[in-house]
Each structure stands twice: as structure tokens, then as C-alpha cells.
């Protein structure tokens, strides 16, 4: 491909050399992957700066490079200067793969909690309709029944466009993806042509990255302000917004497209009425512009009613009948690692869940509390190299709702696990809170299982589907579900 054609996607750029005849074989953001004829894009990262690897990229054969600041290398290849290499990369990747997101309906889900769950609910609804979805998110990349591992909830622009291209080749009928606030802010999804944007909710998380909650919300709003206007091509675009969330007003105002609201509490386009919560699942009347139907599901908790409303709204906007939506939602047993029961025939309940924010922990603990016949135990920690300010808040929620909290490690990464636990619990020490600190997660889970008696509930929160524990920079095998099963079996022996 000609460099000049690729650069067409960027719009405004500066270069001092003639680039008319340069051929590009691929686009790379990592100097180590550059080969003869690559276009190298220098990205300022959090650990290192891609501009510092320009020399290596040139040595490896780069035909040209995209930069956003002065570099000190001899000008042996053309340098293309842009304002923001992150966003330029996203456009270059889109052009390289021939604008994949214009070739299938694209649904983006953003919000603090419920993104993964909503994408899987939608996947099931589309499957019932006989359609094959591509899914991109925290658990994996999935195309029909094929799955691939991922490093980020929303991959970098290069990887993302490669995945889109693969989904197109494998004939996915639509793509449903989680859009993290990091991705929106860093421009990983810049240029993606979303047909539907879904907002689940906003509560505290990621304040290590975002300056404050307003900045976090501003990042989320980019999904809705970025919904392009393709009416001339007969394409309809929708912003699907949780009316019951405090941020809904701002998000509704940030889009020029049609808004569909959903709510459990007030008038909205899509509503849940007569909600019945039980340990076997929630039931409600789904009230929509295309009719009303009763839905009796296996999913637990009020928060899942919201996820089902979000998914149903997007399904209706995608012209799916209510009957299909009902059948799909009633079929779903659960989502991997989300309120997942672990049963080895014991007389107490063990639930593994991915709650890793104060709000999600409160939701699942409140739900466990409502159904508990006896005591509720929680095993929980906070991730290292992540928002430190959520640590005491999560501990507060744990001791408020559980009879006994066991604070432990959850991916300490490069931080000292003991320091993370201190951050969680220092303020609790003087209060009369029932908690223990057990740094080793296996030991903490085992201890909870030993303590539990008939009809108690143990909630193991924070890691859900994860099959690892990251200590330092090493990823060790670790699965809460497996550890819990072994502990239950040991107790029974
Ligand atoms: C803070 C952050 O988001 N970091 C992301 C970022 O890493 P980084 O900034 O450390 O990159 P870097 O290693 O400094 O490299 C900078 C540039 O130099 C290049 N380089 C580097 C070395 C070299 O020898 N040559 C070279 O060219 C790199 O290829 C890169 O282009 O770019 C990487 C590649 O795209 C990401 O994987 C990485 O995500 C890390 C792993 C991460 O943990 N991110 C979290 C915070 C995140 O993004 N989370 C959200 C979801 C949150 C949620 O759902 O709640 C997500 O979407 O995953
Ligand atoms: N709508 C919701 N509101 C609040 N909490 C929720 C909601 N849905 C799920 N949860 C809780 O949040 C946890 C994470 O849910 P899910 O994985 O669907 O969210 P996510 O937004 O994809 O998270 P992440 O930011 O890690 O990708 C669940 O295990 C559950 O405890
Ligand atoms: N997407 C979230 C997942 C957090 C999961 C939790 N187990 C942790 O490691 O903090 C993040 O990267 O912040
Ligand atoms: Mg997720």
C-alpha cells in the first residue's frame, strides 16, 4: 500500500520529504516487530516512549515513521509529524484494514460495571436470532464459538482493527465490544464507526488514570459524542442510556443521535416493572415500545435487571423481536465468573464474582445479604497499580454488608501486597469491624470455607473469570473457583 494512501486517513500532518512513492507493507507500534517496509508509529506510553525506539525501528527496516515530538535520529527515513500519534495510529489501522467497522453493525458498551455481562447477554440474544456475533472484552475475544485471549478489555488500535478484520473474514453479523474509559481517552477506538453506544452506569474506579470523576465521565461520553451521522446512507445510530444513573443527563446531551433510555424506577423508553428478586433469579415485565413481555430469568440481583434492560434496548434497536429477546434472556444461566455458584455438594453457598469496585461489591454483597439465611462471608482484595482511593471504600462496603470480611491479595502487581491491605484496612482498625487480613489468597479462601456453616454464604470477589494472580510482573496460575472447590473437598474429608 502507498504511504500517501494510508496518510489520507489522518487528515492533517506535516512532513519535510517527498513521500509520494513510498510503499508500506504494514503498520507497527512496536519497534521490535518492525520489518523492512513497515510504517512505525511512535507512541508515548506509560512505561516507555516509542520515540526512543525510532532508531531500532529504522535499523529493522522501517520505511517511514509517524511522530508527535522532536526526535534526535538521522533523517534516513521520512518522518510524518502529527499532533497525537495515538489517534493517528487508530486511523492508520482503520485505513490499513480498509475501514472494517463500516462493514458490520458495531455495538460499544461503556460504563463502570456491567459491560462484560451486557455484551454476553446481547451475544445470546443475537445467537437466538440466528446471527453470529464477534465479542471483544475483558474475558476474551470470541467469534461465534472460537475464542482468543486478550491483554486489555479494549485492545490497542492496531490489534483492535486486526480483530475487526478477522471478524469480518469470519463473517460475524455484528460486533459487540466493551469500550473502556482508558481506550476512549487514549484514542484506541478513535475512528470506530459505532452504530449503537450503550451506557451502563458510572461509579468510582480508575482514579489512578482519570483526574477525577468528571474527567472519567468525559472519557465515557466520547463514545456517545463520537456516534457519527450516516443518515444519508440510511444508517440509524442510537445512544442507549441508563436513565436511573446520575450521569444520564450529561450523556444524553453529548450525542447528536437518537437516545433510547432504560429504567427500573421512572418513565423511560424501555422499563422493567413488577420486579421480583429471588435466590433462583429475577423476574420482571419488560415494557418496551414494541410491546410488553414477562421475563423469568436465572440471573441474580437487581444489577442484572439493568444489564438485561441495556441488552434488550440494543436488541430492539437492532430490530430483534421481543419473543426472541425473552427466550434468550430466559435461557442464560450466567456469565463466566459473574455471581458464579461453586457447588461440591456442601451445605453452604460459595459464589465467585468479579466485583472489583466499591459499587459492584456493594451490589453483590447486598444481593447476597438479601438471600442469606445465616452469615455472609466475603473474601476480597484490591488490585495493585490501580486506583488507590477505592481501597478503603471497598473495605468499608465489605465490613458493612458481610458478617465477617477476609481481606486478601488480588493481583498486587508491582506493589507490596501488605501495603495494599494496609490501604484497605488502616482506617478500620479502631472500629469494631469483624475482619481478618490474610495476605495469601489461597489461605484466605480456605479459611472462609473452614469457618462457613450450614446456610452461610461465602462471596469470593474481585477475580471472577481470571485464571491468574499477578505478583510483580509475573502471572501465576490461580483460579478462585478451583481453589474454592479444593477447599470445600478438603473440608468434607
Ligand atoms: C496504562 C495503559 O493503559 N497502558 C497500556 C499501554 O502500555 P504502556 O503505556 O505501558 O506502553 P509502553 O510499554 O510504555 O510502550 C509505549 C510504546 O513503546 C513501544 N515500544 C516499547 C518497547 C520497545 O522495545 N519498543 C517499542 O516500540 C510500545 O510498543 C508502545 O507503542 O499500551 C499497552 C499496549 O497497548 C497496553 O497493553 C497497556 O495496558 C496495560 C497492560 C494496562 O494495564 N492497562 C489498563 C489500565 C487498561 O487499559 N485497562 C482498561 C480496562 C479497565 C476496565 O475495564 O475496568 C482496558 O481497556 O484494558
Ligand atoms: N449493572 C451493574 N451495576 C453494578 N454492578 C454490576 C452490574 N453488572 C455487574 N455488576 C457487578 O460488577 C462485576 C463486574 O461485572 P462485569 O464484568 O459485567 O463489568 P465490567 O464493566 O465488564 O467490568 P470491567 O471494567 O472489569 O471490564 C460483576 O461481577 C458484578 O459484581
Ligand atoms: N479491568 C480491571 C480489572 C480489575 C480486576 C482485579 N482483579 C484487579 O486486578 O484489580 C482493571 O484492569 O482495572
Ligand atoms: Mg469487562
Domain parsing of the chain, residue ranges: 3-96, 100-331, 340-492
- Could you tell me how far CA 318 lies from the centroid of its own chain? 22
- Ligand having the closest approach to the CA of 307: 2
Neighbours of ion ligand 4 (CB under 5 A): 115-116, 138, 178
Residue of minimum CA distance from atom 15 in ligand 2: 114
Does ligand 2 come within 6 angstroms of the Cβ of 390? no
ipTM: 0.97
Is the domain covering 340-492 a CATH 3.40.50.720 domain?
A: no
Res. 400 pLDDT band, cuts 50 70 90: very high
Q: Mind listing the pLDDT tens digit for each residue in 130-148?
A: 999 999 999 999 998 999 9
Q: Mind listing the pLDDT tens digit for each residue in 344-379?
A: 999 999 999 999 999 999 999 999 999 999 999 999
- Ligand having the closest approach to the CA of 182: 1
Task: Give me ligand 4 centre to Cα 178, in Å.
Answer: 6
Does ligand 2 come within 6 angstroms of the Cβ of 307? yes
Res. 228 pLDDT band, cuts 50 70 90: confident
Residues forming the annotated binding site for meso-2,6-diaminopimelate? 386, 410-413, 462, 466
Is the domain covering 3-96 a CATH 3.40.50.720 domain?
A: no
| Model confidence, pTM | 0.96
Among the listed residues 295, 304, 298, 303, the one whose alpha carbon sits nearest the alpha carbon of residue 274:
295
Name the fold adopted by 100-331. 3.40.1190
Q: Please report the beta strands in 3-127, taking only residues with DSSP state E, as ranges in sequence order.
A: 14-15, 26-28, 38-41, 64-67, 79-81, 106-110
Residue of minimum CA distance from atom 31 in ligand 2: 355
3-state secondary structure of 493: coil
3-state secondary structure of 461: strand
Half-sphere exposure of 269 (CA within 13 A, CB side): 17
Q: Mind listing the pLDDT tens digit for each residue in 240-276?
A: 999 999 999 999 999 999 999 999 999 999 999 999 9
Among the listed residues 424, 387, 395, the one whose alpha carbon sits nearest the alpha carbon of residue 112:
387
Residues forming the annotated binding site for ATP? 111-117
Q: Judge whether 100-331 and 340-492 match in fold.
A: no
Residue of minimum CA distance from atom 11 in ligand 2: 360
> Cα–Cα distance between 125 and 286 in angstroms, integer?
15
pLDDT on residue 82: 97
Asked if residue 231 has pLDDT above 90, the reply is no
- Ligand having the closest approach to the CA of 337: 2
Residues forming the annotated binding site? 31, 111-117, 152-154, 180, 188, 386, 410-413, 462, 466
Question: Which range among 9-23, 176-190, 221-235, 369-383 shows the weakest confidence by mean pLDDT?
Answer: 221-235
Q: What are the phi and psi torsion angles at 292 (to 5°)?
A: -125, 140
Q: Do 17 and 78 meet the contact criterion of CB atoms below 8 Å apart?
A: yes
> Cα–Cα distance between 270 and 364 in angstroms, integer?
24
Res. 470 pLDDT band, cuts 50 70 90: very high
Q: Do 380 and 462 meet the contact criterion of CB atoms below 8 Å apart?
A: yes
- Ligand having the closest approach to the CA of 338: 2
Task: Give me ligand 4 centre to Cα 389, in Å.
Answer: 20
Residue of minimum CA distance from atom 38 in ligand 1: 152
Q: Mind listing the pLDDT tens digit for each residue in 280-331?
A: 999 999 999 999 999 999 999 999 999 999 999 999 999 999 999 999 999 9
pLDDT on residue 387: 96
pLDDT on residue 232: 65
Does ligand 3 come within 6 angstroms of the Cβ of 356? yes
Residue of minimum CA distance from atom 13 in ligand 3: 386
Does ligand 3 come within 6 angstroms of the Cβ of 391? no
- Tell which one of 108, 110, 113, 338 to mutate to probe ligand 2, the residue whose CB is within 8 A of the most ligand atoms: 113
Cβ-proximal residues to 293 (8 Å cutoff; 6+ apart), any chain: 285, 286, 322, 323, 325, 326
Amino acid at each position: 500500500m502507498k504511504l500517501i494512501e494510508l496518510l489520507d486517513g489522518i487528515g492533517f500532518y506535516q512532513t519535510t520529504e517527498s513521500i509520494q512513492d513510498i510503499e508500506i507493507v504494514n503498520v507497527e507500534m512496536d519497534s521490535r516487530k518492525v520489518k523492512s517496509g513497515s510504517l512505525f508509529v511512535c507512541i508515548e506510553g506509560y512505561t516507555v516512549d516509542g520515540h526512543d525506539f525510532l532508531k531500532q525501528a529504522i535499523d529493522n527496516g522501517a520505511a517511514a515513521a509517524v511522530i508527535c515530538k522532536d526526535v534526535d535520529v538521522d533523517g534516513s527515513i521520512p518522518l510524518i509529524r502529527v499532533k497525537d500519534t495515538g489517534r493517528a495510529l487508530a486511523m492508520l489501522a482503520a485505513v490499513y484494514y480498509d475501514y472494517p467497522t463500516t462493514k458490520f453493525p458495531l455495538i460499544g458498551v461503556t460504563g463502570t460495571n456491567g459491560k462484560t455481562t451486557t455484551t454476553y447477554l446481547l451475544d445470546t440474544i443475537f445467537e437466538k436470532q440466528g446471527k453470529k456475533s464477534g465479542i471483544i472484552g475483558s474475558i476474551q475475544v470470541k467469534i461465534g464459538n472460537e475464542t482468543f485471549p486478550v491483554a486489555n478489555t479494549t485492545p490497542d488500535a492496531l490489534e483492535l482493527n486486526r480483530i475487526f478484520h478477522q471478524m469480518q473474514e469470519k463473517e460475524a453479523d455484528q460486533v459487540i465490544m466493551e469500550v473502556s474509559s482508558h481506550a476512549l481517552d487514549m484514542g484506541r477506538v478513535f475512528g470506530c464507526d459505532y452504530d449503537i453506544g450503550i451506557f451502563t452506569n458510572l461509579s468510582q474506579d480508575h482514579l489512578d488514570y482519570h483526574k477525577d470523576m468528571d474527567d472519567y465521565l468525559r472519557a465515557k461520553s466520547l463514545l456517545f459524542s463520537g456516534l457519527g451521522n450516516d443518515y444519508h446512507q440510511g444508517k440509524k445510530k442510537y445512544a442507549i442510556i441508563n436513565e436511573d444513573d446520575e450521569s444520564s443527563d450529561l450523556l444524553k446531551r453529548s450525542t447528536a443521535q437518537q437516545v433510547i433510555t432504560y429504567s427500573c424506577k421512572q418513565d423511560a423508553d424501555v422499563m422493567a416493572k413488577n420486579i421480583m428478586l429471588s435466590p433462583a433469579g429475577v423476574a420482571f415485565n419488560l415494557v418496551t415500545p414494541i410491546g410488553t413481555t414477562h421475563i423469568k430469568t436465572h440471573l441474580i440481583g437487581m444489577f442484572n435487571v439493568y444489564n438485561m434492560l441495556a441488552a434488550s434496548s440494543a436488541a430492539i434497536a437492532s430490530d430483534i423481536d421481543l419473543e426472541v429477546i425473552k427466550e434468550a434472556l430466559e435461557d442464560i444461566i450466567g456469565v463466566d465468573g459473574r455471581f458464579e455458584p461453586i457447588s461440591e455438594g456442601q451445605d453452604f453457598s460459595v459464589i465467585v464474582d468479579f466485583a472489583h469496585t466499591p459499587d459492584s461489591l456493594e451490589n453483590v454483597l447486598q444481593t447476597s445479604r438479601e438471600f442469606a439465611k445465616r452469615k455472609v462471608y466475603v473474601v476480597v482484595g484490591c488490585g495493585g497499580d490501580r486506583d488507590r482511593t477505592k481501597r478503603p471504600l471497598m473495605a468499608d462496603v465489605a465490613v458493612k454488608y458481610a458478617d465477617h470480611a477476609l481481606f486478601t491479595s488480588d493481583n498486587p502487581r508491582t506493589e507490596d501486597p501488605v501495603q495494599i491491605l494496609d490501604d484497605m484496612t488502616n482506617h478500620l482498625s479502631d472500629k469494631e469491624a469483624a475482619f481478618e487480613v490474610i495476605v495469601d489468597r489461597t489461605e484466605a479462601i480456605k479459611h472462609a470455607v473452614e469457618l462457613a456453616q450450614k446456610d452461610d454464604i461465602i462471596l469470593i470477589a474481585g477475580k471472577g473469570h481470571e485464571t491468574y494472580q499477578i505478583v510483580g510482573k509475573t502471572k501465576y496460575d490461580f483460579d478462585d473457583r478451583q481453589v474454592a472447590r479444593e477447599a470445600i473437598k478438603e473440608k468434607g474429608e
